[in-house]
């Protein structure tokens, strides 16, 4: 009898040990590994947790009729997360709601039908931060409204990258007949180094007239503010541009393909149009050790609305004003692309999938003139690489894929010949 009791206790202990191991494994998967294992391959994935099968759906799950039931979890009235001192100081001035507003969902719904001729002086002119460097006449200097405005997020120290962009995909001579404006977006840096960089930046601005800067701390957590500055500038100083692209300074952008193949100047400009690398069905990253951690108290929802990767997205000019307006009513998130997606959802606008899923890449695509002549963005470029590949693409773009096919056919033929010789 004692043997049976001892045998039963042994089995019970083993069972409890296995259950505890399973519990630890479950915790590790959900807290640490899940953000890396789900969705796209880690080398190509966006820094957010993937939500599952929603990515394969052709219809957005965040449609206009359903958003009211989910938005109550998006707007968080209490201050619980501080990205930087700049943000919290402006919140204390009453920019964001200080208590829950029962009519807030109705305000969001009303945004979908705002008139295009709304009073800009009371909405767009409401800026959180003053301009330190501005180019208010850059758009007005053109005889007609530009076709495309490029907004490029950068930092003061990235002088080499800006110069490379000026000589390559950001060169305004890419489409001189259409009107093509390039603007670099910057905040400011503190300390003695910041003062030195500021003097150099102001000299660079006087030379190129393509820099705008506001008085906020330039940091990763303030990328949302930086993007809103660009939207504010377009809405205030260039409201009639056909299209706008926001991208980063370490990107390769095939502006010729973007303009002449995707946007197509011969067509009537679209309205309420937003496209890029569509991120549909993604959930907040709850791993506290991640750079892209989203606190539940800041965003309690289990899914983000559809957004486009901040490495490069394109939208119609009319959306600059609409997104900026609605952003004044929504609490800022430090993840810029997610925040813009939330603004779009509040406007009832779903990002349009690009005609080809390989046009916008938020990872680095291995270079070939054939591939790069048929994409719009590729990520992770050093300025020297940008110059090298851009000039190579320009010299080969007319017959890029023909040359690639010939090279591939030549290699195949060589392998066959050497294979036959080795067989002999």
How do residues 130-155 score in pLDDT, each as one tens digit? 999 999 999 987 668 999 999 999 99
| Torsion sign, CA atoms 414, 418, 423, 424 | positive
Asked whether the predicted pLDDT for residue 338 surpasses 60, the reply is: yes
Q: What is the rounded distance in angstroms from the CA atom of residue 31 to the CA atom of residue 159? A: 39
Q: At what angle do helices 318-327 and 336-346 cross, to 10 degrees?
A: 100
pLDDT at position 252: 97
Q: Which pLDDT band, with edges at 50, 70 and 90, does 363 fall under?
A: very high
Q: Which one is predicted more confidently, 259 or 71?
A: 259
Look over the chain and give the mean of its residue pLDDT values, rounded to a whole number. 77
b/e map of 31-64 (b: 16 or more CB within 10 Å)? eeebbeebbeeeeebbbbbbbeebeeeeebbbee
Cβ atoms of 382 and 249 closer than 8 Å: no
Strand pairing of 243-248 and 211-217? unpaired
What is the reported pLDDT for 6? 54
Q: What is the signed CA dihedral for 236, 238, 241, 244, rounded to 10 degrees?
A: -70
Of 162, 152, 71, 145, nearest to 110 by C-alpha is 71
Residue labelled with tokens 């925040």: 339
pLDDT 10s digits, 206-248: 999 999 999 999 999 999 999 999 999 999 999 999 999 999 9
Residue 279 near residue 46, CB atoms below 8 Å: yes
Phi, psi (degrees; rounded to nearest 5) at 77: -75, -35
Q: pTM higher than 0.85, yes or no?
A: no
Confidence class for position 345, pLDDT limits 50, 70, 90? very high
What CA–CA distance (Å, rounded) separates 413 from 281? Answer: 45
Q: What is the pLDDT of residue 140?
A: 84
297 or 48, higher pLDDT: 297
Who wins on pLDDT, 402 or 331? 331
Ramachandran quadrant class, 291 (left: phi over 0; alpha: psi -120 to 50; beta: rest): alpha
C-alpha pair distances (Å), 307 with each of 67, 279, 340 = 15, 5, 7
Contact 243, 258 (CB under 8 A): no
pLDDT of residue 25: 58
Looking at residue 141, its pLDDT comes to: 72
% of the chain residues with pLDDT over 90: 58
Name residue, tokens 């606190």: 295
pLDDT value of position 92 = 32
Q: 80 or 375: which carries more pLDDT confidence?
A: 375
| Angstrom distance (rounded) from CA 5 to CA 145 | 88
Q: How far is it, in rounded angstroms, from Cα 10 to Cα 410?
A: 69
- Lowest average pLDDT, out of 41-50, 228-237, 274-283, goes to 41-50
Percent of the chain topping pLDDT 70: 65
Question: How confident is residue 400, by pLDDT bands cut at 50, 70 and 90?
Answer: confident
Q: Which CATH number does 53-365 carry?
A: 3.90.550
Q: Report whether pLDDT(355) > 70.
A: yes
Best mean pLDDT range from 55-64, 276-285, 397-406, 414-423: 276-285
The pLDDT of residue 8 is 58
Per-residue pLDDT, averaged over 32-57, amounts to 41
- The pLDDT assigned to 418 comes to 55
pLDDT at 403: 62
pLDDT at 308 over 50: yes
Please report the pLDDT score of residue 111 as a whole number.
34
Kindly report which listed range (197-211, 331-345, 346-360, 409-423) carries the lowest average pLDDT score.
Answer: 409-423
């Amino acid at each position: 009898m004692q043997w049976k009791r001892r045998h039963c206790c042994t089995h019970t202990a083993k069972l409890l040990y296995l259950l505890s191991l399973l519990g630890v494994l479950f915790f590790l998967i959900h807290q640490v590994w899940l953000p890396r294992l789900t969705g796209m391959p880690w080398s190509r994935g966006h820094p957010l947790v993937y939500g599952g099968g929603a990515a394969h759906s052709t219809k957005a799950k965040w449609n206009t009729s359903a958003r009211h039931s989910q938005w109550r979890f998006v707007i968080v009235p209490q201050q619980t997360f501080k990205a930087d001192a700049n943000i919290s100081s402006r919140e204390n001035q009453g920019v964001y709601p200080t208590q829950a507003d029962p009519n807030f969902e109705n305000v969001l719904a009303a945004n979908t039908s705002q008139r295009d001729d709304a009073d800009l002086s009371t909405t767009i002119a409401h800026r959180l931060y003053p301009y330190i460097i501005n180019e208010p006449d850059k758009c007005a200097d053109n005889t007609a409204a530009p076709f495309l405005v490029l907004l490029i997020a950068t930092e003061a120290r990235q002088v080499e990258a800006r110069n490379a962009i000026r000589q390559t995909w950001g060169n305004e001579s890419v489409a001189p007949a259409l009107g093509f404006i390039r603007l670099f977006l910057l905040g400011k840096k503190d300390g003695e180094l910041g003062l030195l960089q500021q003097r150099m930046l102001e000299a660079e601005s006087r030379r190129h007239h393509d820099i705008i800067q506001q008085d906020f701390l330039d940091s990763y957590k303030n990328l949302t503010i930086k993007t809103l500055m660009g939207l504010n500038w377009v809405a205030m100083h260039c409201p009639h541009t056909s299209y706008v692209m926001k991208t980063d300074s370490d990107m390769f952008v095939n502006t010729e393909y973007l303009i002449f193949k995707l946007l197509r100047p011969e067509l009537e400009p679209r309205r309420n149009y937003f496209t890029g690398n569509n991120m549909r069905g993604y959930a907040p990253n709850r791993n506290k050790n991640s750079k892209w951690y989203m606190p539940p108290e800041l965003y309690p929802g289990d899914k983000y609305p559809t957004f486009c990767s901040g490495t490069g997205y394109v939208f119609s000019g009319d959306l600059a004003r609409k997104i900026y307006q609605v952003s004044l009513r929504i609490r800022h998130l430090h993840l810029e692309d997610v925040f813009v997606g939330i603004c779009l959802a509040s406007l009832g606008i779903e990002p349009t999938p690009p005609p080809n899923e390989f046009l916008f890449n938020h990872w680095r695509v291995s270079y070939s003139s054939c591939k790069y002549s048929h994409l719009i963005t590729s990520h992770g470029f050093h300025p020297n690489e940008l110059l090298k590949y851009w000039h190579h693409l320009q010299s080969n773009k007319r017959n890029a894929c023909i040359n690639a096919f010939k090279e591939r056919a030549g290699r195949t033929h060589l392998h066959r010949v050497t294979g036959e010789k080795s067989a002999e």
